[in-house]
Amino acid sequence: MKLNIVPARTGWLWVKAGLRTFWQQPLALSGLFFLFITVMSVASLLPYLGNALALSLLPAATLGLMAATREATLGKFPMPSILVSAFRAGRQQARAMVVLGVVYALAFLAVLGISALFDGGDFARLYLVGGTLTREMVESPAFQNAMWVAMALYLPLSLLFWHAPALVHWHGVPPVKSLFFSGVACVRNFGAMTVFLLGWMAVFSVVGMLLMVLSALLGQPELMGMLMFPAAMLLAAMFFSSIWFSFRDSFVADDDAPASTEAPQI
């Protein structure tokens, strides 16, 4: 397996590929995404360890959505069972995915724990337990500091886990090595990853502005509030559909390495 270094413009191609693939199988991919959200929400409702369980399931669930996108690119209709692909590839890979999930949950909780040092845990409680986000809370310097610290710490964590589930599942890479390779791939393809994320920010912004204009033209300002949530969910499903392409283009088999692209051995 080799790391494939791609041009920065490839990030936008990943965005377009995700959008195009989603609309090839909109019912299947949106249904799987909503099933993914439902499973995570139900798991988080369990007493005591619910949130930790939901977090530990995230790498495997993300892998399932990537596998669904892969099926869609092959012209197949992804079935609901594809969401548990991570646990159907053999005992060794299933065990590795469980380890990856536990590491992710612990690391994420550690990020929230560090953020609690800045505001007494208000931001962490809001995320884990829920509650009402008040104006006083948002304007609190301590809360803002905790939020920014959590975001700053979560960014490198997300890069470590970006490709890790796919590396464990499709390449049989051990969990710790998969985190290292994922981080290296994201750093080496930093330009493409940046364009990818900026591209999706632009897509979300354009859809938001279109909804705002539509509400204004119809003279119904409440329409935007009604449409924003389902639109955001659909866009999130499209975003998850595009993650597969970032993995597909970042790693190649040894005998498939492109001659025109830098492909260091990992």
Answer yes or no: is pLDDT of 259 > 50.
no
Q: What are the structure tokens assigned to 224, written together? A: 């935007």
Name residue 229's amino acid: F
Neighbour tally for 40: CB within 10 Å: 16
Cα three-residue angle 231-232-237, rounded to 5 degrees: 100
Each residue's pLDDT tens digit, 2-30? 899 999 999 999 999 999 999 999 999 99
Is the dihedral angle over the CA atoms 198, 204, 210, 213 positive or is it negative? negative
C-alpha to C-alpha distance for 98 and 61, rounded to whole angstroms: 11
What share of the chain in percent tops pLDDT 90? 60
Confidence of residue 263 (pLDDT cuts 50, 70, 90): very low
Q: What is the DSSP string of 63-113?
A: HHHHHHHHHHHTT----GGGGGGGGSS-HHHHHHHHHHHHHHHHHHHHHHH
pLDDT given for residue 255 in this prediction: 52
Helix then strand count (H, E) for the chain reads 11, 2
Higher-pLDDT residue of 18 and 266 is: 18
Strand partners, 265: 2
Is the dihedral angle over the CA atoms 160, 161, 166, 171 positive or is it negative? positive
* Residues in contact with 168: Cβ distance below 8 Å, sequence separation at least 6, in sequence order: 63, 86, 93, 96, 97, 100, 174, 175, 178
Each residue's pLDDT tens digit, 141-198? 888 899 999 999 999 999 999 999 999 999 989 999 999 999 999 999 999 999 999 9
- Contact between residue 99 and residue 175 where contact means Cβ atoms under 8 Å apart: yes
